[in-house]
């Protein structure tokens, strides 16, 4: 039997953080598989550009702001329809030691990386459950499982996101809605370039650092998008509450 090349035709996917890096690759991948995509990001112009390229609709929204998420939800429901798929990819990186950690930066990391996914999920979950189909994918991190020095805030946000994912998975399971996390390793995106330097520095970190991996590879955003698309596939209905690590083997929990 021929493989269905657009398994998401007729589906609506909302992707946060979709103007850049991993979120953008996910938005392209889901559109390529037939989904109509809502592109959600702080970066308005870049979001518009992505939406234009994939024939979707863009909305500027700070995921940490509950009111902004509520009004973005109403707006996107009108423009692309209520979501069958929600991917929470918006996030920020932050490195700071616990001793003397600034209160505001601690809260900011948690507000964006953990409370942001809560805000969007809260808005759309009951609709998904009523319609009897849903795929929620939260972009966590290997740092949510193995937390290095200086990564307590980031690691807490990403570990909390795994716990949140499992709570949602249990609440929604009987209604045909799955919730899973994808935990990337080292991926070449503007976030990592800013934190770690150019392609050569990333490649060197992948070969020989505590965040390196036995394959010695720097992952690309498309590697993560592939895993997300797998979880969003209608045939993945039996996979819920799981963490899919995409990391070249750096972590084998
Ligand atoms: P990225 O290129 O910086 O993309 C993140 C996007 O999220 C940006 O467009 C950013 O907009 C947006 N964003 C930030 N704060 C936001 C907010 N409050 N509301 C709405 N949008 C917001 O980073 P990335 O590397 O693709 O990261 C995507 C996700 O993967 C993040 O959750 C990150 O923690 C996770 N992750 C990344 C790696 C990696 O190696 N890259 C590894 C593990 C996990 P602005 O540019 O305007 O800030």
* Cα gap 153→162, rounded to integer Å: 14
Pocket test for ligand 1, best of 15, 16, 19, 22 (most atoms within 8 A of CB): 22
Tell me how crowded residue 44 is: count the other CB atoms within 10 A of its CB: 13
Q: Ligand 1 within 6 A of 17 CB?
A: yes
Q: What is the DSSP string of 70-120?
A: HHHHHHHHHHT-S-SEEEE-------B-STT--HHHHHHHHIIIIIHHHHH
Q: What band does 253 get if pLDDT is binned at 50, 70 and 90? A: confident
Per-residue pLDDT at 67: 98
More confident residue, 230 or 208: 230
Tell me how crowded residue 249 is: count the other CB atoms within 10 A of its CB: 13
Per-residue pLDDT at 211: 86
pLDDT exceeds cutoff 80 at 3: no
* CA 222 to chain centroid: 13
* Cα gap 49→31, rounded to integer Å: 14
Per-residue pLDDT tens for 14-47?
999 999 999 999 999 999 999 999 999 999 999 9
Per-residue pLDDT at 217: 96
* Cα gap 72→224, rounded to integer Å: 25
Q: Ligand 1 within 6 A of 128 CB?
A: no
pLDDT > 90 in the chain, percent: 96
* SS3 label, residue 208: coil
Class of 12-186+214-246 per CATH? alpha beta
CA of 127 to the centre of ligand 1 (A): 26
Q: Ligand 1 within 6 A of 247 CB?
A: no
Per-residue pLDDT tens for 42-79?
999 999 999 999 999 999 999 999 999 999 999 999 99
For residue 47, the ligand 1 atom closest to its alpha carbon is 9
User: Among positive and negative, which fits the CA dihedral 31, 226, 20, 177?
Assistant: positive
Per-residue pLDDT tens for 237-250?
999 999 999 999 99
* CA 132 to chain centroid: 22
CA of 3 to the centre of ligand 1 (A): 32
What are the residue ranges spanned by the domains of the chain?
A: 12-186+214-246
pTM: 0.98
pLDDT exceeds cutoff 70 at 101: yes
pLDDT exceeds cutoff 90 at 2: no
């Amino acid at each position: 039997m021929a493989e269905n090349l657009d398994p998401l035709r007729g589906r609506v996917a909302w992707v946060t953080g979709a103007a850049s890096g991993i979120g953008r690759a996910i938005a392209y991948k889901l559109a390529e598989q037939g989904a109509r995509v809502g592109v959600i990001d702080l970066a308005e112009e870049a979001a518009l550009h992505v939406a234009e390229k994939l024939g979707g609709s863009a909305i500027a929204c700070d995921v940490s702001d509950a009111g902004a998420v509520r009004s973005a939800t109403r707006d996107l429901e009108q423009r692309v329809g209520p979501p069958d798929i929600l991917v929470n990819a918006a996030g920020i990186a932050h490195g700071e030691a616990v001793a003397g950690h600034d209160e505001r930066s601690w809260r900011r990391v948690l507000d964006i990386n953990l409370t942001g996914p809560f805000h969007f999920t809260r808005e759309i979950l009951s609709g998904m459950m009523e319609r009897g189909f849903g795929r929620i994918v939260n972009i966590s991190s290997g740092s949510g499982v193995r937390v290095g020095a200086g990564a307590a805030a980031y690691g807490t946000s990403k570990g909390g996101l795994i716990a949140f994912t499992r709570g949602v998975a249990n609440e929604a399971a009987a209604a045909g809605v799955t919730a899973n996390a994808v935990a990337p390793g080292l991926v070449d995106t503007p976030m990592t370039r800013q934190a770690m330097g150019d392609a050569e520095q990333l490649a060197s970190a992948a070969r020989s650092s505590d965040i390196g991996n036995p394959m010695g590879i720097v992952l690309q955003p498309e590697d993560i998008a592939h895993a997300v698309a797998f979880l969003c596939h209608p045939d993945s209905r039996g996979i819920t509450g799981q963490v899919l690590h995409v990391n070249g083997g750096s972590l084998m929990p």
